[in-house]
Structure 1
Amino acid sequence: MTETLLKTISQKQLPSLSEFFERFGLAFVMVASYFGSGSVFIMSTAGVQFGYALIWLIGIAVLLGIMAQDMSARVGIFGDSLGQFTRRKLGENGATVVLVFVSIGCILWGLELTAAVGLGTQILLESVFGISISWMIIAGFTGILAAGLGVLRYQIIEYLMTTMMLVLFVIFGIVAVASDPNPATVATGVIPDQTFLTPSGMTLAAAILGTTALWPNLFLESLFVEEKGWQEQSDLFNMRLDLAMGYGLGGLASIAIVVATATVLRPAGITELQSFITPGQALTNVLGTWAMLLFLGGTLVAAFNSIIPILWAPAYILHEARGKQIKSSNPSEARQSFRLLFIGLCLLSGLSPLVHLLGGLSVMDMIILFPAWNGVFGLPISATLLFLAVNDSETMHGHENDWRLNAANLVLVVLAIILAVLSAQDVVGAIFGGGL
């Protein structure tokens, strides 16, 4: 009997993998979508340009991301998805115009991510195997691969992305610890200062916020709550614990990148990253070749990890704008038109070499500027729609935000708008002016 009791307790304390994913896992997909090559490069840039000074901003971005995802989930649990809310309030034409405009940001993100995978793979192949393949060719194949994987069953994709996020956390954590930072110096980064109040600093701040508090996730979370069976008040605990685990892991990985680059690269006199390989080369000089391989490998995993969920968003919301509700949030069971649109977006994202050849933007330009575009345009619009949705009685059925949640929500909206206003001219000018 004692044996049986111990076994029962053990089973309750240590749920199986399948039991874990029945309750949790959605937040890891959401974090995987924001933690791409843009995040890695942006966090690296923050480390070399500002040292540990922007760690506080990462913390705020993560908290805002959790708060926004919590509200998005509640919209889905108690009412409609955010896309359906947008159509109901703005009508088909209004919703189509707004959602097509914000979807441009997803296309830009897709272009940036395939370019990052292409360039990173090219560098890795040349460094390790001496094989030379143009990043442009690899970028095209990356779009094709994402199209194939993105229409698989949701559960399979969730398992893959959770695994990749854990791998990324371990990779960047190892590099950060090996860089041997001074804990007391690192701790100074949790206190805000004014060192980032420059044009380049504001663009970087917009990029950090835009790549962490990711606006496509506001739409996806409200759709995907059904995958977890979250349908009532009692499910809020699991939803919030899921968010804390997923976004906590993503935030720690981001801080690890800042710590590693600030500790190793900045003292070496590197204050600007010219290419993907710059952090790896500097890490090699101090820590050894293994550090470069881990850093580059982690960047590639992060980049590819983001493509699928980011391009899911426009495929879902553009259908919703036209009144064609996706009955299942599982891509493998969704409408054929959804799958065709998603595949088309993935193939379009593989055309990033044309952006380079015709627009004059380097891969590094795309990695910084395209997330910043989303911080300037996509996030303020989506955050405003979310604020309206969680205060709409027709949507929330008595579960609207109270004054405390509204106060926190207004922080997200106001901060997003302020950063957008301050950095819009620099971001748009750089994109259409041939780069940074």
Structure 2
Amino acid sequence: MSSKYEDISWLPVEGPRNFIESYGLGLLFSANVFGAGSVYILSNTGAQFGFTLLWTMPLALLVDMGMHEMSGRLATIDEPLMEYISDTIGSAAGKVLSVLIAFIMHFWAISNFAVGGAALAWLTPLDNVYIGIVLTAGVGIALVEMRIYERVEAAIAAVILTVFTIYILLVMGLDLPMGEVVSGLVPLMKTDLGYLATVVGLFGTTVYYPNFFIQSSMRPSKGWTDISYYRKDNFAGIAFVVLLSMSVIAVSALTLDPHAPTLTSPAEPLTSAVGAWALPVFVGAVFLASFSSATGTLFGAGFMVPQAWGKDTRFGDKWFRRTVEVLVLMSVAFAVLLLEFTAITPVQLGITMPAVNGLVGLPITALALYMANRKFFDHPLWMRVGFAVIVGLMFILAAMTAEGLYNQIIGWL
């Protein structure tokens, strides 16, 4: 193992380069999680349910850390999750499953490119969402073509830190009622389908299953053989995005009324509190979050599909890039067609697609991670039980919301 990984601490003291080396993968995961869809899901959650769903974020942190623990352990032995799946169910079935999951996974990119295009059209004289979608996707392809992982890691880290700074500036202008914030951390379950669909949407956008395919494939790029490195990196990145998500929910609960969200609606109430600059700054943050999340999400497919075909794929190699770029082009085409021929809006796409992924891709990935860990590791009983509970939770949440999500999508179409 390279000496540059031997002294990873919680607070690197040798500058930004060491910080990125130690926590860049976690920041990449954060950028994938906090896409444009997350902005509107979180804002809509605060507007619809106030502070009552804040409790889902700490729970999502625990669940996410459990999932990352399983995928990180696979990374330490250089056993990508998709390779395990193909070995278990057979090559032909593995190929079919990889394409199916990649197709579902690219729904995130569809929604992010749609919102990114709308944001770019709003910010510039373009005034054309379709051109904005193409340009946003072009930025994503340029990111892929950087090829060298360390460069991509640094670029995405810069983007997500910029988005974080923007939101902190917006939050600082408000006086949050801390009593209500604390009360929202107390778990509360309801049988209302809208409430349950929102819970799954929050888990679907926070417990982000493409990250697990990415992490289990990162041994050649990161060189880490000790799970503690992945664990520290994961905790920093996921805790970062959970705190950011809780801030967005709390601010929206304080400032927004229940309504159909639009591109700028989460920031419009902020203009009276912090100034007119809040609106363009917010839309700028939405654009940055869109292209980084859309492309970073597809990195999971960039590993997964070639691995199912028996390729020893590394980040940025030819098979990785071609897979991601094909899915980017598909995402652009689907985004334009959906916006042109249905009543759905970019923001509605952003809110719906994480729930779709939470319904389908997340339970499958959770089960595969659990079975892979059973095969390759002799975990203590408490850890096996904990992992089993996480997998069961993913399936229960999916089953509870399938009907409500289906009716919502049909209504928009």
Q: 1:281 is paired with a residue of what secondary structure?
A: coil
Taking the aligned partners of 2:139 and 2:378, their CA distance within structure 1 comes to 41
Q: 2:268 is paired with a residue of what secondary structure?
A: helix
Indicate yes or no: 2:224 matched with 1:230: yes
Equivalent residue number for residue 349 of structure 1: 331
Q: Deviation digits for residues 264-296 of structure 1, max 9, x if unmatched?
A: 22xxxx112431111122211333212223322
Query: Of the two, which has the highest radius of gyration?
Result: 1
Tell me whether 168-177 or 183-192 shows the greater mean CA deviation.
Answer: 168-177
TM-score of the pair, normalised by structure 2: 0.92
* 1:210-289 alignment, distance < 5 Å: 210-231=204-225, 235-265=226-256, 270-289=257-276
Taking the aligned partners of 1:429 and 1:324, their CA distance within structure 2 comes to 40
* 1:44-63 alignment, distance < 5 Å: 44-63=43-62
Q: CA deviation at 1:248?
A: 1.1
Equivalent residue number for residue 156 of structure 2: 161
Taking the aligned partners of 2:205 and 2:308, their CA distance within structure 1 comes to 24
Q: What letter is aligned with 2:23?
A: F
Corresponding residue to 1:324 among 289, 311, 318: 311
Taking the aligned partners of 2:410 and 2:153, their CA distance within structure 1 comes to 36
Any unmatched runs of 5+ in structure 1? 1-11, 126-130
On the 8 A contact 2:37/2:347 being kept in 1, the answer is no
On the 8 A contact 2:40/2:261 being kept in 1, the answer is no
Q: What letter is aligned with 2:292?
A: N
Taking the aligned partners of 1:212 and 1:202, their CA distance within structure 2 comes to 15
Taking the aligned partners of 2:362 and 2:38, their CA distance within structure 1 comes to 16
Taking the aligned partners of 1:135 and 1:391, their CA distance within structure 2 comes to 47
Q: CA deviation at 1:375?
A: 0.4
Indicate yes or no: 2:289 matched with 1:298: no
Q: CA deviation at 1:109?
A: 0.9
* 1:7-46 alignment, distance < 5 Å: 14-46=13-45
Indicate yes or no: 2:384 matched with 1:406: yes
Taking the aligned partners of 1:321 and 1:212, their CA distance within structure 2 comes to 26
Q: CA deviation at 1:220?
A: 0.5
Taking the aligned partners of 2:154 and 2:191, their CA distance within structure 1 comes to 40
On the 8 A contact 1:56/1:189 being kept in 2, the answer is yes
* 1:36-435 alignment, distance < 5 Å: 36-125=35-124, 131-152=125-146, 153-194=148-189, 196-231=190-225, 235-265=226-256, 270-326=257-313, 328=314, 330-331=315-316, 334=317, 336-351=318-333, 352-392=335-375, 396=376, 399-435=377-413
TM-score of the pair, normalised by structure 1: 0.88
Taking the aligned partners of 1:261 and 1:238, their CA distance within structure 2 comes to 35
On the 8 A contact 2:23/2:236 being kept in 1, the answer is no
Structure 1 residues 259 and 433: CA distance shift in structure 2, 3 A: closer
Q: Deviation digits for residues 42-93 of structure 1, max 9, x if unmatched?
A: 1101111111111110111122112211210111212511011011101111
Taking the aligned partners of 2:340 and 2:21, their CA distance within structure 1 comes to 46
RMSD between aligned residues: 1.8
Q: What letter is aligned with 2:170?
A: V
Q: CA deviation at 1:29?
A: 0.8
Taking the aligned partners of 1:132 and 1:285, their CA distance within structure 2 comes to 27
On the 8 A contact 1:53/1:189 being kept in 2, the answer is yes
Tell me whether 112-121 or 164-173 shows the greater mean CA deviation.
Answer: 164-173
Q: CA deviation at 1:28?
A: 0.9
Q: 2:269 is paired with a residue of what secondary structure?
A: helix
Q: What letter is aligned with 1:322?
A: W
Taking the aligned partners of 2:240 and 2:261, their CA distance within structure 1 comes to 28
On the 8 A contact 2:82/2:307 being kept in 1, the answer is yes
Q: CA deviation at 1:339?
A: 2.0
Equivalent residue number for residue 9 of structure 1: none
Q: CA deviation at 1:230?
A: 0.8
Q: 1:400 is paired with a residue of what secondary structure?
A: coil
Taking the aligned partners of 1:365 and 1:57, their CA distance within structure 2 comes to 21
Q: Deviation digits for residues 358-416 of structure 1, max 9, x if unmatched?
A: 34322122111111100000000000000001110xxx2xx333222222212221111
Taking the aligned partners of 2:109 and 2:157, their CA distance within structure 1 comes to 20
On the 8 A contact 1:99/1:317 being kept in 2, the answer is yes
Q: What letter is aligned with 1:286?
A: A
